[in-house]
Amino acid sequence: MFVIGEAKSMVFNGKVAMPKEYHLRKRVIMGKWKNDSTLYISDSKSALNYIAGSAGDIFMVNIDTEDKIQVPGDYDKKEVMIQGCISTIELIFQKN
């Protein structure tokens, strides 16, 4: 996985619209929460463990046909900063 760039999005109905140029549907994507407001996603378990730490569970990320990923409903209507960091994608949920 090789992604770079930044974008802003909004959580709507428990989903975050991801940039289409990341081509996430072509890969098996996993995710890991670092804390309550930071989610990392990648196609590499080792990259997730390195960046988010070894504590916590890695889960499979559901990507729909419109390149949206599902997040917990607690984040509805929150703004999200999306940052492509070469081997991982960082999603930072803003506190409203």
Phi first, then psi, for residue 9 (nearest 5°) are -145, 180
Residues 6+ positions from 39 with CB-CB distance below 8 Å: 31, 32, 33, 71, 90, 91, 93
Say whether 81 sits in a helix, a strand or coil: strand
pLDDT in tens, 6-65: 999 999 999 999 998 888 888 899 999 999 999 999 999 999 999 888 888 999 999 998
CA distance 15 to 46: 25
CA distance 6 to 69: 16
Q: How much is the pTM?
A: 0.91
Domains in the chain, please, with CATH? 3-93 (3.40.1550.20)
Q: Is the pLDDT of residue 96 over 70?
A: no
CA distance 86 to 78: 25
Q: Is the pLDDT of residue 95 over 90?
A: no
Question: Do 90 and 83 touch, CB atoms closer than 8 A?
Answer: yes
